[in-house]
Amino acid sequence: MSKSEYSTEDFVLDPDFRKWVLENDSESKTYWVEFLAQYPSKVKEIKEARELLIHLSRQKVSLSSSKEAELFAKINQAIEKQESGDKVDATLMVDLDSWSTIQKYNLERERQKRKHLKIRIGVLSGLLLAVVGLFFLPEIKNDPLEQEVKVEWVSFAAPAGVKSSISLEDGSKVHLNSGSKITYPKSFVGGIREIRLEGEAFFEVAKNPEMPFVVRTKHLVTTALGTSFNINAYPEHEIAVSLVSGKVRVEDSQNESNQAILNPGETIKSDLESKSWEKGNFEQEDILAWLNKTLVFEKTSVQEAILMLENWYGVNFEIQGTIPINTTVSGKFKDETLQNILEGLSYSARFNYKINGKTVNLTFKP
Amino acid sequence: MTQNRVNPQPSSAEINDQELWESLIKGDRAAFGLIYQRTIQDLYRFGCSLVSDEDLVLDSIQEVFVDLWKYHSHLQKTDKIKVYLFKCLSNRIHKESMQQNKRKTKNEFFIAGEESAIESIEDRLVLNTYNQGMKAQLSKALQQLPFRQKEVINCLFFEDFSYEDTAKIMNINLRSVYTLAWKAISNLKSSISIKIIIGFIILMSK
């Protein structure tokens, strides 16, 4: 069909016509101006098509980040359910801040209590049998160290921009900050609950004095019996262990003299590279702010702030100009949009910003 | 591409659709997460543009991703993840909405007369002298189009898919895409001319 026979609808559907109307593309413009001169009778259709195009609208919707994370948790749950048939509990994931989470957690605790009771009865009867067995079979070698148990490790990660929580089989709960990962045995064996962490997490450890809860990060080993604490161990970053309740022991696997027992409110900060080891107090509100969807900058360097934003929102920054080294930023942002935070920081850190989907362009002013 | 990379880890933005999809086929769960992250907002928006039942949209997205993982090892290679997922979602919503046709739809999204809730393809232009009333009218008319007509308009005009990709998403041939879009535009056109006439009558009767 020649364009001279176009109806209004055909004009609307012509990609080149759209380019002219919506993007004012110069090449298209030349073409359509010429076309109009050649077919002046089409002016009515063209006008109508243009009206339609520029007014075409739809409802604007977007999914909130908490709903986004919630849906992803549901998807993972459904997959887990499908893959492991009935055993869902060990990898149960729930969203962070809803009332239902608390309810679920309480239920979980109740269940764990009952389970512990059962385990205790089980252990007792096992011991009884063992004692009886010792009398009858004294020559059997009984070295627990030689019993090699095959441990199957599983991982659970919160990608950048997403926070999630997981309940472990012992009833402990781990809240993962964006861009963090834990690795743990499919089931705890050998009298120890061992977890490996990269990134930041808050642990609520279910009480079990017989089975210490051990969190390994790059060079620090944190041991707890039943307590709650936060560990911040992002790569290329000093590690901070902050205790909220109970008691934990922190050890440096690279340096035996670095050992400390933390009381609530105390924190250990240690960096492998600079071999630093520092005990101090922490502001609970700031350390745990991330659980509450609050991003805190406290005299944070601009470089560091950019890393935190990349992680928090799951975006990438592209930098023009030089990042000021001596400037620091401070501020608390609760459940804010990236744009609002950048707007807030742009004055003190002196930059212009532009957000294009998952990429953010920052131009520092000289 | 960056003058001064801040992120020390290999950045997710560097992985293209094709590589990401191949990792998924091999069973990389992180790739699965990244695909979710990259497409969730688009899928949600697209789903909501087809039906005004948020629960149905969220349930359908969930099923699309659960199936995506279930059948990951059998997937065909693609360099257009969005086209593939849109097609899955469209199928799913189409099927579900047919089944649940009797279920009352919830008009959660439509806030009549609220300009900020409307996304117009003209928003890219700086000029903002156009008639907001006509935009609201057109967005309402779009909402009331038959399912497939709504879908074709959303693909072509709001999601900026080519005719070829739209044909793939809707599982029809190119010719049908054009015919369907023509009908949809024609309906939209008459909706605004009716409005003008009604407006005129109201004016006259005052």
What class is the B13-109 domain? mainly alpha
A356 touches chain B (CB under 8 A): no
B-chain CB neighbours of A162 within 8 Å are: 33, 37
CB within 8 Å: B6 and A307: yes
B-chain CB neighbours of A319 within 8 Å are: 2-6
Which residue in B63, B97, B35, B9 sits closest to A310, CA to CA?
B9
CB within 8 Å: A56 and B122: yes
Out of B38, B40, B185, closest to residue A13 by CB: B185
Which residue in A171, A233, A240, A232 sits closest to A204, CA to CA?
A171
In this prediction, residue A228 carries a pLDDT of 82
Secondary structure class of B79 (helix, strand, coil): coil
Secondary structure class of B118 (helix, strand, coil): strand
pLDDT 10s digits, A100-114: 444 444 455 555 555
When scoring A8, A75, A154, A176 by the number of chain B Cβ atoms within 10 A, the one with the most, hence best to mutate, is A75
Q: pLDDT tens per residue, chain B (206 residues)?
A: 334 434 344 445 567 888 889 999 988 888 898 899 899 999 999 999 888 888 899 999 999 999 999 888 888 888 889 999 999 999 999 888 777 654 444 333 333 333 345 565 555 443 444 466 778 888 888 888 988 999 999 999 988 899 999 999 998 999 999 999 999 999 998 887 765 555 555 555 54
In this prediction, residue B89 carries a pLDDT of 95
Q: How far is B168 from chain A (nearest CA, A)?
A: 18
In this prediction, residue B31 carries a pLDDT of 87
Of A35-39, A243-247, B58-62, B88-92, the one with minimum mean pLDDT is A243-247
In this prediction, residue A334 carries a pLDDT of 81
In this prediction, residue B113 carries a pLDDT of 36
Are the C-beta atoms of A226 and A209 separated by less than 8 Å? yes
Secondary structure class of B71 (helix, strand, coil): coil
> Residue A35 has which token pair?
């076309």
DSSP letter, residue B92: H
Out of B38, B119, B130, closest to residue A60 by CB: B119
In this prediction, residue B143 carries a pLDDT of 86
DSSP letter, residue B82: H
Percent of all residues in chain B with a pLDDT value above 90, rounded to a whole number: 34
Q: Give the integer Cα–Cα distance in Å for A224 and A172.
A: 12
B155 vs A206, higher pLDDT: B155
Q: How far is B58 from chain A (nearest CA, A)?
A: 8
Q: Where in chain B is the domain with CATH 1.10.1740.10?
A: 13-109
Q: Which fold has domain B121-206?
A: Arc Repressor Mutant, subunit A (1.10.10)
Q: Which of residues 295-334 of A touch B (CB under 8 A)?
A: 303, 306-307, 310, 314, 316-320, 322-323
A27 touches chain B (CB under 8 A): no
Confidence band for A348, pLDDT divided at 50, 70 and 90: confident
In this prediction, residue B8 carries a pLDDT of 41
Q: Give the integer Cα–Cα distance in Å for A167 and A17.
A: 56
Mean pLDDT (chain B, rounded):
77
Q: Where in chain B is the domain with CATH 1.10.10.10?
A: 121-206
**Structural domains of chain A ordered from first start:** 3-55 (no CATH), 67-142+150-286 (2.60.120.1440), 293-364 (3.55.50.30)
CB within 8 Å: B45 and A62: yes
pLDDT 10s digits, A113-155: 555 555 554 454 444 444 444 444 433 344 444 344 467 888 8
Q: How far is B6 from chain A (nearest CA, A)?
A: 7
Q: Which of residues 245-264 of A touch B (CB under 8 A)?
A: none
In this prediction, residue A207 carries a pLDDT of 81
Position A89 pLDDT exceeds 80? no
Q: Is the dihedral of CA A185, A191, A196, A197 positive or negative?
A: positive
Percent of all residues in chain A with a pLDDT value above 70, rounded to a whole number: 81
Identify the closest residue of chain A to B55 by CA–CA distance: A71
pLDDT 10s digits, A173-201: 888 888 888 998 888 877 788 899 988 99
Q: How far is B192 from chain A (nearest CA, A)?
A: 9
Mean pLDDT (chain A, rounded):
78
Amino acid identity for residue A310 in this structure: E
In this prediction, residue B83 carries a pLDDT of 93
Are the C-beta atoms of A331 and A360 separated by less than 8 Å? no
